Chain A
Amino acid sequence: MLRKKIYRYIRPIRQKLYIERSLKVLSWILVIGFGLTCLLAIVSRFIMVVHVTMWMGYVGLVAMATSIMVSAFLYPSVQDGVKLTDHLGMQERLMTALEFEDSQEAAITSQREDTLLHIEDITKRPSYSIKIWRRPWLIAGILFVGTMGVLMVPTSSSKQAAQIEELQEKIIEEMAWIEEKLDQDLLEEKIADAADIEEKEKAIEEALEALKENIEKAKSEEEALKELAIAKNALSEIEKEIAEQLKAQSQEAMGEETALAMEKALEAMGSELHEMQAAINASGQNLATKASISQMAFSGEPSNGSEPSQSSGAMAGSGENPQEGEGEGQGGAGAQEGEGQGASATGSTNEETPMQETTEPQGGHHQGGESKEGIYESLYPPERLGGEADPSFIQGDSQKEGERTYSEVQGVPTEAGEFVRYDTILSEYSSEATRRIDQAQVPPMMRTVVKEYFSSLETSD
């Protein structure tokens, strides 16, 4: 009871004492801090110290932190509070009462009652004014002013330091600007890329739609094949453009993350394109089925799946394309020939897929299905030209896109199930083939093969 009253009574005194102690500690720490900064300022006048003000700031921060930490341990104890309160007019009543609080002697009881009377007497309440030690504050102020004064004195070292600071600031500003710009550009590029890719996808979709329509509208298989080739070329171009664009972006990207993202996007785009190509191939296979029907008409007998499928129509073209190299191809009875020069060293065939065989003859209406895959893709697989061998390639030069020429061969069946006589078209096919191989840049060996083929037909006839 008495103890609580005494504690409550001395609380304001203790708080003031705490503030006083903290201020005292702060003042002396400031003296030390400003002393150090003054020293630093003096040193910086003779030795080049870059960012001297920053270092001074650090010293100030450390001083403040130290004073705060020290202040945490400065709260006066009860004994200190009691002693000070007693000194302020309680005349050791509080400390005596606390010391003898358990005693029941008459004198002690009287003393306790006397203490309580004094505690409850507002007129006798001791007042304590916080004492400010002027000396440390004065010293700190002088040191501060001295530091500022020293910093204003220009010397060669300080000028050099100022120049370096200025340079560093500029570099930092530039870096910040670059970073900001990069971020902004990257954002814009991402948006643009997304738009671009969407555009490309749209173009691909449109190309596929057009292909679909054209194939449906095609009056003959040749037309369909032509449309298919055109679509394939268009898709290849789009694919290449996207690939190059993404590659360039990934190379330009600053961080690894962006590059990785680009690579992933590239892969994703590639896979999408492959899917589209697979779809086109599927269309090609459908068309090839139709072509097999024509072949049957051409040969007069049902198509055997074990034999290479032949197309009764021929599509020939020549051109210069960056994607196309130089090459020749022949698949089955139908021929697709092309001439071109390109940067890449691939042949005119994009895929070299061996023709799959089927053992189920379908009469005159043989549906080629998957077995016909590769007829229009791999025109010159080496195994068809005398066994296993590495295809030979000639490095093409990157040229402008060449023009494609197409010519229709007359007399071929235009609809499935329509038959013509073999001997009616043989001479025309033979002469056309001879003329074409003379014109085109067909390897001599292949020319011989073509000539021998037609001559063998004539002989057998």
Chain B
Amino acid sequence: MELEHVSEWSERVITEVSAHIIGQEELIEDTIICLMAGGNLLLEGVPGLGKTRLVSVLGEVLGLAFKRIQFTPDLMPADITGTNIYNRDRNVFEFQQGPVFSNIVLADEINRATPKTQAAMLEAMQEKTVTVAGQTYPLPRPYLVMATQNPIEQEGTYPLPEAQMDRFMFKLNVLFPKAKDLAAIVQLTTGTHEPKVHTVTSSEELLEIQELVKTVPVAQPVLDYAMRLIVATHPEQESAPDIIRKYVLAGASPRAAQGIINASRVRALIKGRYNVAFEDINAMAEPVLRHRLVLNFEAMSDGVTVEHLVSELIGVIKE
């Protein structure tokens, strides 16, 4: 595959997914971008917005294996990664793969599991491997973890630690659909006829695209701008604007810099360009930084959101 076909490929996938997920075009596009960039995705939204459906449809469209894990407080790490089971017939311990062994893993309500179980996802998300009893098992490629969390029900939840949050390339907010879109969803899902999901690509094509994306050139001024943007999220940095100093406790990590550049490359290709533009950086800043900026109490008390801070940051940092 060549770069010229990436845009067409992404268009094809987005169109197919959009046919089943109504009113979430931006979410779908960002999900595809994250997938093409080889990142993991954290979805945040109230229940019933189609998060699980999005992941399942995406898996089918891409022709990838899909598994869903419902995180609960009593979920153990071995329940996710898998464990060694004694085979009495053969008198050996055999590794029984957990649900992480799939191309697309949906970690539903990930914040309900204990930190220990959440941590079990770290290796899978970052190294794309799982280590059980000293044995490391590679995860299938392509690999995408899509986690969801409920922003309302905080009772009995374990907020994800920063280290784990940083493993997610994007954090996307699943917004409630508009009335028109809601009507379309109801019609689509409550009728007698439910449209069939078509597979429009293969895992091989996706892997090829993930490699091609890395070749997209980024001009030095654009790269500098992205880096300045990331650095400015740190309140202790000189370039940090006042609003960051006031409301941010911890800034974005270098993974954020990697993520924003990779995501921008994909976005450029999707938009039909072969170079990263400033607008790509700006567009990808919010999903990349949203879960990486740790706000202080003052921000929470003032009702300041990360989205607001990122928007301010983009306005302050000159291209």
Contact = CB atoms under 8 A, between A and B. Distances in A.
A3 interface: no
B274 A114 contact: yes
B279 A107 contact: no
A143 interface: no
B319 interface: yes
Interface stretch (B57-65, B99-107, B134-142, B218-226): B218-226
B220 A99 contact: yes
Contact of A111 (B212, B221, B274, B279): B274
A96 B278 CA distance: 12
A44 B70 CA distance: 86
Interface residues of B, number: 20
A95 B217 contact: no
Nearest to B279: A91
Contact of B3 (A95, A97, A110): A110
B215 interface: yes
B222 A107 contact: no
Interface in A89-145: 91-93, 95-97, 99-100, 103, 105-108, 110-111, 114
A35 B168 CA distance: 58
B221 A107 contact: no
Given A106-B2, A107-B3, A92 B277 contact: yes
B273 interface: yes
Interface residues of chain A: helix, strand, loop or mixed (majority): helix
B263 to A, nearest CB: 16
Interface in B215-252: 215-222
B4 interface: yes
A242 B222 CA distance: 96
A120 B3 CA distance: 21
A126 B159 CA distance: 49
B144 interface: no
A108 to B, nearest CB: 6
A108 B276 CA distance: 12
A91 B275 CA distance: 8
A110 B2 CA distance: 10
A105 B218 CA distance: 13
Contacts of A86: 277
Contacts of B218: 96
Contacts of B212: 107
B274 to A, nearest CB: 4
A87 interface: yes
A107 B274 contact: yes
Given A87-B319, A107-B3, A96 B275 contact: yes
Most chain A CB neighbours (cut-off 10 Å) among B2, B4, B212, B277: B277
Contact of B274 (A83, A103, A110): A110
Contact of B276 (A87, A92, A110, A114): A92
A106 B217 contact: no
A377 to B, nearest CB: 107
A106 B4 CA distance: 11
Chain A interface size, as a band, is 10 to 19
A107 B279 CA distance: 20
A108 B274 CA distance: 8
A92 B275 contact: yes
B274 A99 contact: no
A96 B216 CA distance: 10
B281 to A, nearest CB: 10
Contact of A106 (B215, B278, B279): B215
Contacts of A106: 2-3, 215
Contacts of B219: 92, 95-96, 99-100
A86 B274 CA distance: 14
Nearest to A103: B217
Interface in B258-305: 273-279
A107 B215 contact: yes
Contact of B217 (A83, A87, A91, A111): A111
Given A96-B217, A96-B219, A99-B220, A91 B277 contact: yes
B224 to A, nearest CB: 11
A204 to B, nearest CB: 96
Contacts of B222: 92, 95-96
- Most chain A CB atoms below 10 A, which of B216, B275, B319: B275
A436 B6 CA distance: 147
Contacts of A103: 217
Contact of B273 (A93, A95, A108): A93
20 contacts: A83-B221, A83-B319, A86-B277, A87-B319, A92-B221, A92-B222, A92-B275, A92-B277, A96-B218, A96-B275, A96-B276, A99-B219, A106-B2, A107-B212, A107-B217, A107-B274, A108-B217, A110-B2, A114-B273, A114-B274
What 7 A-B pairs are tightest by C-beta distance, nearest first? A111-B274, A96-B275, A107-B215, A91-B277, A96-B219, A92-B277, A95-B219
Given A97-B275, A110-B274, 19 more contacts: A86-B277, A91-B275, A91-B277, A92-B221, A92-B222, A92-B275, A92-B277, A92-B278, A95-B221, A96-B217, A96-B218, A96-B222, A96-B275, A96-B276, A99-B217, A106-B215, A107-B212, A108-B217, A111-B274
